[in-house]
Structure 1
Amino acid sequence: MNKPGKQDKQASMDLAESARQTKWQHPSFTAELFKGSFRWDLIHPYPAQSDTDKAIGDAVLVELEKCLKTHINPEAVDKSGVLPETALDALKAGGYFGMKIPKAYGGMGLSITNYVRAMELVASWCGSTAVWLSAHQSIGVPQPLKEFGNDAQKEKYLPRLAAGAVSAFSLTEPDVGSDPARMGTTATPIDDGNYYIINGQKLWTTNGPAAELLVVMAETPPKLVHGKEKKQITAFIVEAPTPGLSVLHECEFMGIRAIRNGWMEFKDVKVPKENIIGNLGDGLKIALATLNVGRLTIPVISAGTGKVCLSYCQDWIKQRVQWGQSIGKHQAVANLVNDIATHTFAIDAMSFLTCSLIENETADVRLEAAIAKYFGSERAWDIVDKTMQIRGGRGFETADSLRKRNEPGIPIERVMRDTRINRIIEGTSEIMHLFIAREAMDLHIKTVFALSNPAISISKKIGIVLKAGLFYSLWYPKLWLPSWSIFSIKHLNQRNLSQLHYISRTSKRLARSLFHTMVRFGPKLEYQQAILAHYVDIGTQLFAMAATLSKAESILHNHQNPKTIQALTTAFCHQSRKEIEQHFRAVRTAEPQEKKVASEALMNADLDWLMNDIIRFETTDTPIN
């Protein structure tokens, strides 16, 4: 019999597995990379925004910029921790709370590309304002309602949401982060199932304290599947204010200080069954689908962060003179600027490529969206850090303080504080690693991992072995064949064309190495998170290289300075290849067992000797008044 811990883990895995999208309706560029196939045709030509759609977006951005500059002072918002009601009213009047909502329901009906362009603009001005708008329509009620709601729900709620009724998404709980199997919030049916009573607490509900409508995930009674109970999580629309719904605490943060984020309590909150989104038990599936699309806002905002940082550096590296020349001519600073520019270009290419693939419905982008979020948020943090390094003490100083000494009020320290959250929200980088690894391994999980299931009969296992043997006997030898791809390239120079051949070769090497690792560890591979993370990073870099090359090819023909595009692309690919080779070396070297010692020692109070000569934090400490 399994230990309780193992049972809990298996229950969590089973629930997560049942919620994921099992079928790949369309090909995935990155999934193919992990299989050893470089499908350049899926991302080239780079899907350009149509002239008509771009004109619509351009017009929206012009008016949005006017609204932001007229009604929002980002420094004052950050300092006070409050986005003024006048600003919210202006955003609502402009229709910016309904950008993603169809025109038929009173919204702007913007394309995904135009919506994220608008969010990039907002975030470049004020991070807090971007979160208000994004939490409302990227993951709040509008997104799941559009995808899974029925006509009656859409007619009832979407016009209100488009007009500015603020919405929120409630999933996380005080003791539950990325493990929904431990969810404690319940929804109990009453009156023959016509109503549900919700009880529980939710933590870090962005927009929650100000929301009129919330999507709340709660556990409903289990259903029987093959004689066993299966946990069900269901999505409910909850209107506020309503009896039993309260804000226990408004959270305060390091950055994005003017958001409204709360610890919410649901105490006997009565909700009609008509407020269920989708079907009973669809909640986690809805949450994952919502995040797949909703998290695309983060990499686009990350690209915007890079663009803003470039603008902060532009005059400074030219005008600041040290040792007889502009600091931009010193190699150390030039290298930092190179990283900022190349990573900004790569994030931008990945993000808008993924948005276009979603809109064109030509590819499955669950991997691409997750990778763009992971890569974008990680590199944006590095970009801001390097920008601060270039600015030195002026980067660490607040914009308000700089202005008081008659210097340009460049708010790098605020941008740094606002940017840090992106590596945490909508899936931490560590969770993104696990999610991407699971999807990347889907081919092998479907083919052979069922053998580890004790519930499967011997005869079925024999069938699985025979089928797997046939598949791998045909698939594996192809991974050793040379890549003879011919790419329809007109503008990339020879050095950048060679990068495409590198991606083609390396995708096969990635698939081989991943297969060898799977054979080595078998079902225990799930415990090798460090090794899987290296494979994820290899796939991430290959996707970033391919997206960058595709975008470069698309803009070279009419760019005023093609040498700059070629150089940025070459520099990015050169650095990516170095990182990829480092990851391949790492997977060949087993993680030393000693790396586990520190964590165990800390939990067992065996590192007390190291924490000497400090004032130790104690959970019983009370704040000093």
Structure 2
Amino acid sequence: MSIVIPFLAFLLAGAFAAYHRIRLAYWAAITASLLVACWLLGANPTATVVAALVVVAVAVPLLIPAIRKPLITAPALGFLRRALPPLSQTERIALETGSVGFEGDLFTGDPDWNKLLAYPKPQLTAEEQAFLDGPVEELCRMTNDWEITHIHADLPPELWDFIKKNKFFGMIIPKQYGGLGFSALAHHKVIQKIASVSSVVSSTVGVPNSLGPGELLNHYGTQEQKDYYLPRLAIGQEVPCFGLTGPFAGSDATSIPDYGIVCKGEWNGANVLGIRLTFDKRYITLAPVATIIGLAFRMYDPDGLIGDTRDIGITLALLPRDTEGVDVGRRHFPLNSPFQNGPIHGKDVFIPLSQLIGGVEMAGKGWNMLNECLAVGRSITLPSTASGGAKAGARVTGAYARIRKQFGLSVGRFEGVEEALARIGGKAYAISALSQATAAAVDRGDVPSVPSAIAKYHCTNMGRDVAKDVMDIVGGKGIILGPRNFAGRAWQASPIAITVEGANIMTRSLLIFGQGSILCHPYIIKEMRAAQDPDTRAGIHQLDAVLYPHIGGAISNAVRSFWFGITGSKIGAAPGDAYTKKFFRKLDRYAANLALLTDISLGALGGKLKFKESLSGRLGDVLSHLYMMSAVLKRHHDEGTPEADKPLLAWAFHNSAYEIELALSQALRNFPIKPLGWLLWPVVFPFGRRAVAPGDRLSHRVAMLLMAPNEARDRLGQGVFLTPCENNPGGRIDSYLAAAVAAEPVERKFLKALKTKDIEALDYSAQLDEGVREGWITADERKQLEDLRAITLDTITVDDFDTHELRAASFYALPQHKRHPREAA
């Protein structure tokens, strides 16, 4: 037995040092002390000496730079230079764009949760809150989504005027240029509220405040461009659009075939140096009504008129709509959500160099500019739209499920419906937290490239899930379109958000982990820069500073993964209260798992990893759910850890934990190098997968929260338009909930009387009269039941139409011979 003790001491010291990330010198000292103790206590001398020699063999070369650099670091640099593929310009720009926030902590495997919780609570200014309570509320009251989507296929003129007059297009434009100068949080809140009543209006407001001329000019425009365009954009005098996507360049924006040739031409009567453009764009939101067009194209200077570079690269320019040769095509029609969208064409369109965004100095830097602005825009518009729809869906569907009765019970009481309600509530809670977290990151000064992709992908995907469950619960109410339908258009529009600003499949497979594993990793990008440094001595110096912490971190993550696995994440320091500590500990485990698999994948596969999209997608799911649950716990903390919200928090967390373990297991079972997957399995899952999806009991608690007035339900619905008015059927249904709940005891008493008493009346009103005469209910209770019948009828009633009301009005403008034969007759 004594022969084992020195080696056991060696391993325990190493595991302790790795778990706590103790420096190598301290590990050597701790291990040496333990081995001396083993010697003194009578352990096998030979074993003790062998263990000591191992410590010396590891510590001495690594601790002495004169030995370490030539013997270890220099060969490692040579290996990296051979193993790492050269970065394309697209990849290089993507990695150089954006900043890293808390998502970087997740890749360390040991996140600093106190840092997360110390971020300031996101709060609106008094001016921003007043805008939400005033103009935004009024805009929502004016919005009739049925008329917009079915009758006009556009916003009516009074809405356009109201939006422009109240500077909705100028939320991100600084006050010095006549804009509102709002925070990203306010931008998020405005889009969220509008989206809860109409995705068409939210798209119309969101796009000018997202990727487009306003944001690009604000960040990169010349002073002259800012002074001229920003005040006009702020008040809607100019309506902007931005042309990026084309028939042959969708998600791969760097393959833009649209081009501009530097040449001389005529502009406003003068012969000036400029660019002659040829372009073909489609899916351009606001194009049909835009007065100023932002355009991305590849710029060439074959005659060297502005420099020595012939292929200058992707460049951005501004084109007034009335520029000769610009052709704004007919409208696209996006899935019965007819926001203004269409193609733009141009051939030999001449503009002066002064129309380049940022001037000639920014020529060729368009991809950098787009990446940065895409990250900010993607952080807000689409996640906020999903949040507004999901939160409104949760509130209204919960009320509907309580009011709507089948077999004498509220439909929400059936367990199948409870499951759907729980998914709606839990996902709405997570979407809300995630969308607010990315907006808060922008306000902290971050350019959240990776979190924006996470938010865009998961908010829109979960938003579609919520819309599906809402449709399943409301049934016929959802499939019969009309002014009373609060769900149908949201379901039809849900795929749009998933498709735009980068298709979700591509975002998951290529962007989230592909970019995050390099940009957010504490060491990888530094090692890549060292390998690419042409100065070998400088490269060795750079690599030496990061290689050994990287190796130590990888060992630490393996130890932490195994420790958390065998202890079930029940041991370890964690922030939070008695309820949330267990959640933080689990996230510690999953962060260690992610960091370990990231290092193993990058080390084993190298440049081939970017072609392993299934593996990248699964590891991206782990990162996404880690970030999402970080946002959920931060939200819970910021709101004062309310007791009533615990079911929502627990459902969201357990759902994400289940998804994380599912993704980890799929990644290991399908790891491209099978033996590595087998070896990693007992480290990550020493007792197999343990996380399970939210159970029936928890789902029941969440469903009950949605179906009764309470503070958690109120918090979940904060920031969406629930004012009961003629144009807001969802708001009316939501407003009925308290009265419906209050009437239920009277309704049960009356229904019991109907079954047990000899009642002659068949008509409901007559039955109520008889009930009052016989003393089964009072006159006040009769009124209560009458009101319940009225609100139930409004809740469940669907619309009907004359045939001509469902025909497109423009059809009747066609000559009779061009109509369908049946109609022409």
Scaled by the length of structure 2, the TM-score of the pair is 0.64
Q: Which residue pairs with 1:475 in the alignment? A: 553
Aligned partner letter, 1:153 = Q
Q: Which residue pairs with 2:249 in the alignment? A: 176
CA deviations 1:138-193 (Å, max 9, x no partner) are 11211111111121111010011011021001111111112233211111112398
Q: Distance in 1 between matches of 2:150 and 2:437?
A: 36
| Structure (1 or 2) with the larger CA radius of gyration | 2
Deviation at 1:456, TM superposition (A): 7.8
Q: Distance in 1 between matches of 2:651 and 2:154?
A: 42
CA deviations 1:510-546 (Å, max 9, x no partner) are 1111222223322211111011100000111111111
Q: Distance in 2 between matches of 1:289 and 1:372?
A: 16
Q: Distance in 2 between matches of 1:182 and 1:216?
A: 14
Question: Match of 2:324, SS?
Answer: coil
CA contact (8 A) 1:255 1:418 kept: yes
Aligned partner letter, 1:182 = S
CA contact (8 A) 1:245 1:267 kept: yes
CA deviations 1:355-413 (Å, max 9, x no partner) are 1222122x55221122111110010000000111111222222134xxxxxxxx13211
Question: Match of 1:382, SS?
Answer: helix
Gaps of 5+ in 1: 1-9, 401-408, 594-622
Q: Which residue pairs with 1:114 in the alignment? A: 186
CA contact (8 A) 1:232 1:282 kept: yes
Deviation at 1:102, TM superposition (A): 1.3
In the alignment, structure 1 residue 206 sits paired with structure 2 residue 279: no
Q: Which residue pairs with 2:404 in the alignment? A: 320
Aligned partner letter, 2:606 = G
In the alignment, structure 1 residue 55 sits paired with structure 2 residue 131: no
Q: Which residue pairs with 1:260 in the alignment? A: 340
In the alignment, structure 1 residue 246 sits paired with structure 2 residue 327: yes
In the alignment, structure 1 residue 37 sits paired with structure 2 residue 110: yes
Q: Distance in 1 between matches of 2:245 and 2:228?
A: 26
In the alignment, structure 1 residue 341 sits paired with structure 2 residue 413: no
Q: Distance in 1 between matches of 2:432 and 2:133?
A: 20
Aligned partner letter, 2:179 = G
CA contact (8 A) 2:327 2:345 kept: yes
Among candidates 444, 447, 453, match of residue 360 of structure 1: 444
After superposition, the Cα gap between the structure-2 partners of 1:465 and 1:358, relative to the gap in structure 1 and judged at 3 Å, is closer
The range that moved more, 314-323 or 167-176, is: 314-323
Q: Distance in 1 between matches of 2:317 and 2:167?
A: 25
CA deviations 1:266-301 (Å, max 9, x no partner) are 122222212212311111111111111111211111
Q: Distance in 1 between matches of 2:592 and 2:227?
A: 50
CA contact (8 A) 1:61 1:118 kept: yes
Aligned partner letter, 1:439 = Q
Q: Which residue pairs with 1:610 in the alignment? A: none
Deviation at 1:240, TM superposition (A): 1.3
Q: Distance in 2 between matches of 1:94 and 1:462?
A: 58
The range that moved more, 99-108 or 189-198, is: 189-198
After superposition, the Cα gap between the structure-2 partners of 1:55 and 1:578, relative to the gap in structure 1 and judged at 3 Å, is same
Aligned partner letter, 1:473 = I
CA deviations 1:475-512 (Å, max 9, x no partner) are 212212468864443xx442x32010111121011111
Among candidates 445, 460, 474, match of residue 377 of structure 1: 460
Q: Which residue pairs with 2:494 in the alignment? A: 419
Deviation at 1:245, TM superposition (A): 0.3
Q: Which residue pairs with 2:665 in the alignment? A: 585
CA contact (8 A) 1:46 1:551 kept: no
CA deviations 1:216-255 (Å, max 9, x no partner) are 011112799xx99765000101111111001233211213
Gaps of 5+ in 2: 1-84, 266-271, 565-570, 674-818
After superposition, the Cα gap between the structure-2 partners of 1:184 and 1:542, relative to the gap in structure 1 and judged at 3 Å, is same
Q: Distance in 1 between matches of 2:97 and 2:291?
A: 36
Q: Distance in 2 between matches of 1:291 and 1:131?
A: 16
Aligned partner letter, 2:513 = A
After superposition, the Cα gap between the structure-2 partners of 1:93 and 1:327, relative to the gap in structure 1 and judged at 3 Å, is same
After superposition, the Cα gap between the structure-2 partners of 1:327 and 1:175, relative to the gap in structure 1 and judged at 3 Å, is same
Deviation at 1:450, TM superposition (A): 8.0
Deviation at 1:45, TM superposition (A): 3.6
After superposition, the Cα gap between the structure-2 partners of 1:488 and 1:473, relative to the gap in structure 1 and judged at 3 Å, is closer
Among candidates 123, 127, 145, match of residue 74 of structure 1: 145
Question: Match of 2:117, SS?
Answer: coil
Q: Distance in 2 between matches of 1:466 and 1:46?
A: 33
After superposition, the Cα gap between the structure-2 partners of 1:509 and 1:49, relative to the gap in structure 1 and judged at 3 Å, is closer
Q: CA RMSD in A?
A: 3.0
In the alignment, structure 1 residue 218 sits paired with structure 2 residue 297: yes
Give the share of equivalent positions with the same residue, in percent. 23
After superposition, the Cα gap between the structure-2 partners of 1:139 and 1:181, relative to the gap in structure 1 and judged at 3 Å, is closer
Deviation at 1:556, TM superposition (A): 3.0
Among candidates 509, 514, 526, match of residue 438 of structure 1: 514
Among candidates 630, 653, 668, match of residue 546 of structure 1: 630
Q: Distance in 2 between matches of 1:235 and 1:553?
A: 43
Q: Distance in 1 between matches of 2:629 and 2:243?
A: 36
CA contact (8 A) 1:71 1:90 kept: no
Aligned partner letter, 1:76 = E
Q: Aligned runs of 1:139-218 on 2, under 5 Å? A: 139-164=211-236, 165-191=238-264, 194-218=273-297
The range that moved more, 371-380 or 476-485, is: 476-485
Deviation at 1:466, TM superposition (A): 6.7
CA contact (8 A) 1:15 1:181 kept: no
CA contact (8 A) 2:243 2:284 kept: yes
After superposition, the Cα gap between the structure-2 partners of 1:592 and 1:111, relative to the gap in structure 1 and judged at 3 Å, is closer
Q: Which residue pairs with 2:593 in the alignment? A: 509
CA contact (8 A) 1:384 1:416 kept: yes
Scaled by the length of structure 1, the TM-score of the pair is 0.83
Q: Distance in 1 between matches of 2:672 and 2:609?
A: 16
Q: Distance in 1 between matches of 2:225 and 2:605?
A: 48
CA contact (8 A) 2:530 2:540 kept: no
Deviation at 1:421, TM superposition (A): 0.7
CA contact (8 A) 1:99 1:110 kept: yes
CA contact (8 A) 2:173 2:214 kept: yes
Q: Which residue pairs with 1:600 in the alignment? A: none
CA contact (8 A) 2:590 2:660 kept: no
Deviation at 1:587, TM superposition (A): 0.4
